[in-house]
Amino acid sequence: MAVWQAEHVAKRLQETSPDIRVQIDRIRTTGDKILDTPLAQVGGKALFVKEIEEALLAGRVDLAVHSMKDVPTELPAGLTIGAIPPREEPADVLISRTGTRLSDLPRAARVGTSSLRRQAQLLRHRPDLVIVGLRGNLDTRIRKLHSEGLDAIVLAAAGVKRLGLARMVTEVLSPEIMLPAIGQGALGIEVQEPGTATEPEGPSVAELVRVLDDRDTHVAVRAERAMLRRLGGGCQVPIAALASVDDSRVFLRGLIARTDGTSVIRGEMRGAASEPETVGHMLAEELLDRGGRAILQEIVEGGVHG
């Protein structure tokens, strides 16, 4: 998936700036190497970007392409998200072994996912399900659907579509059943902030990538990330959000949940698209006041890591 994303951005850059030469440098991150342990137990999604950001800061690469759902809300000093291209489908999808939809899966069906966010929402909808940890790349997860006797797995629609596997999808899960991860379906192009010592001659990299930015996607992701930043959670806490933009307004839905799905606090907020961080912050405060603060405190005190 990371290779597809990098090649996609490289192609778009060469289309918009034919005079530049783009070379892809593959960096295997810690998150790519640890495949047998839930991310919540080993440092979270930041493991997918740490080594890449180090290469970016050192000037060994000029830009980095990330899945925005993997990018921590606080970036290292000197780095910025230069562009967020148009978003792919942000939803989650169910792929079942027999083509059975979520509501029709047999009682105590085994469903694969290592996401606490997905686990909490699945159990909220179907408390009888047995959640089975599932790591690895997309091909590996699909293979385990059969090799490990699972009834179904839940994946991000964006990854499935980008790799040409949409035909395998049994059901696209609605936001009412499964609110996606913050930034899901969006790519982020990270660059050094203009004016840094390692910036190459000519147009800055930030200027080159800016033409790939999609205003509505960028605003939506900023609202989602602002909510997450205020809540202070990562993949150790089931937190979800999805924003949409309609001209001058942004509409944000979000939730905090217990990992077992017994308590799910949902909310929504509307505001000016010119102030997405304010919208995200306000929704976070509402979720905290309505029970989210107690859930977060339970996790901190109990050392819950999924």
d(CA 299, CA 306): 10
**Structural domain contains residue 179:** no
pLDDT value at residue 97: 95
Residues 150 and 138 in one domain: yes
Residues 131 and 151 in one domain: yes
The token pair at 279 is: 């919208």
> pLDDT tens digits, residue range 239-264?
999 999 998 999 999 999 999 999 99
d(CA 63, CA 228): 24
DSSP secondary structure letter of residue 108: T
Residues 154 and 274 in one domain: no
Choose one of 194, 213, 232: the last residue of a domain: 213
> Which segment of 16-20, 98-102, 298-302 scores lowest on mean pLDDT?
298-302
> Which segment of 41-45, 106-110, 209-213, 261-265 scores lowest on mean pLDDT?
41-45
Residues 97 and 159 in one domain: yes
pLDDT band at 306 (very low <50, low <70, confident <90, very high): very low
Diameter of the chain measured on Cα atoms: 62
Residues 70 and 12 in one domain: yes
Check: pTM over 0.85? Answer yes or no.
yes
Report the share of the chain in percent with pLDDT over 70.
89
Q: Are 222 and 277 in contact (CB under 8 A)?
A: yes
What CATH number has the domain bearing residue 42? 3.40.190.10
**Count of Cβ atoms closer than 10 Å to residue 76 Cβ:** 14
d(CA 5, CA 179): 23
pLDDT band at 201 (very low <50, low <70, confident <90, very high): low
> What's the mean pLDDT in 67-77?
93
Residues 13 and 131 in one domain: no
pLDDT value at residue 36: 52
Q: How many domains does the chain have?
A: 3
Bridge partners (DSSP) of residue 112 are: 132, 153
> pLDDT tens digits, residue range 10-34?
999 999 999 888 999 888 766 554 4
Report the chain's C-alpha Rg in angstroms: 19
Q: Range of 166's domain?
A: 92-173
Residues 304 and 195 in one domain: no
pLDDT value at residue 198: 54
**Structural domain contains residue 31:** yes
DSSP 186-236: -EEEEEEPTT-TTPPSSS-HHHHHHTT--HHHHHHHHHHHHHHHHHT--TT
**Structural domain contains residue 280:** yes
Choose one of 150, 173, 196: the last residue of a domain: 173
**Residue written as token pair 């606490």:** 116
Residues 209 and 60 in one domain: yes
DSSP 37-72: S-HHHHT-GGGGTHHHHHHHHTTS-SEEEEEGGGS-
Catalytic residues: 70
- Amino acid letter at 247? D
Ranges of H-type helices in the chain: 2-16, 30-33, 39-42, 50-57, 116-125, 138-147, 157-162, 205-210, 215-231, 276-287, 293-302
Strands 171-173 and 92-96: antiparallel
Residues 55 and 115 in one domain: no
**Structural domain contains residue 178:** no
